[in-house]
Every structure is written in C-alpha cells, then in structure tokens.
Amino acid sequence: QLLLQESGPGLVKPSETLSLSCTVSGGSISSGVYFWGWIRQPPGQGLEWIASIDYSGTSHYVPSLRSRLTVSVDTSQNQFSLKVNSVTVADTALYYCVRQRRAINERGAVDIWGQGTMVIVSS
C-alpha cells in the first residue's frame, strides 16, 4: 500500500521561504503513470491544487502562485518537495502531498493523499 508523508516546519515567518517534503513509501515515485502534487486547504476553507511534478521533473503550477512556487523530485530518495517563496498570512493552510493519475480515462484523479501538514505563517 503506497503511503505519502509530509514533513516540514509548522511555523514560518512572513517573507520567508516555506519548504515541504513528501516521502513516498510502499511504491516507486519513478512510475510514469502518475503525477506527484501539492494541494492546500486554508483553515475552514476549500481545496486548492497548487503544483505537480512527474518523475522526470516536468512541473506544473497554478498560475496565481507560479512566481513563488518551486516543486522538485528526488527519485533516489523517493521524495518530492515544494518551496513557497515570500510567504504571507494567506499561505497559512493544511498542505497535502498527493498522487494524481495520468491515464487518459482517469486523468487527474487524486487517489492517494498524505495526512497533511499544517503550516502557519506568523511573525
């Protein structure tokens, strides 16, 4: 059974960089049939897809945050990571790492989620 586990600081100061990692266990991140992504959820609000990457390093970002996001993959460690630059209080959210399907008849379905890691932006 494939599992995803997020790690990172729970508290980040405004204007600093948020760095999160996701460790994949029970399967290989090098499978070409999936994207590996990040979805966030501000407290009491809905879900927002923000970034995804495949095993080769091809990345995709939500346009509204593109200039502040970097997603990367480390196949040797079976991990992928997210950096958010110049954070503000608006970046306070529960951040989930996820697996997204690529197959043509099930494209984009997020079938595996990490438990989520809460990030608070505050001085």
Partner 1 sequence: DIQMTQSPSSLSASVGDRVTITCRASQSINRNLNWYQQKPGKAPKLLIYAASSLQSGVPSRFSGSGSGTDFTLTINNLQPEDFATYYCQQSYNNPRGTFGQGTKVEIK
* Chain residues that interact with partner 1, rule: CB under 8 A: 35, 37, 46-49, 52, 60, 62-63, 96, 100-102, 105-111, 113-116
- Rounded to a whole number of angstroms, the minimum distance from the CB of residue 47 to partner 1 is 4
Give the nearer residue to partner 1 in terms of CB position, either 113 or 120. 113
Give the nearer residue to partner 1 in terms of CB position, either 16 or 23. 23
Give the nearer residue to partner 1 in terms of CB position, either 16 or 75. 75
- Rounded to a whole number of angstroms, the minimum distance from the CB of residue 12 to partner 1 is 22
- Rounded to a whole number of angstroms, the minimum distance from the CB of residue 115 to partner 1 is 6
Distances (CA, A) of 114 to 38, 61, 96: 10, 19, 6
Q: Are 98 and 112 in contact (CB under 8 A)?
A: yes
Q: Are 87 and 76 in contact (CB under 8 A)?
A: no
| Sheet with 79-84: strands ordered across | 3-7, 18-25, 79-84, 69-74
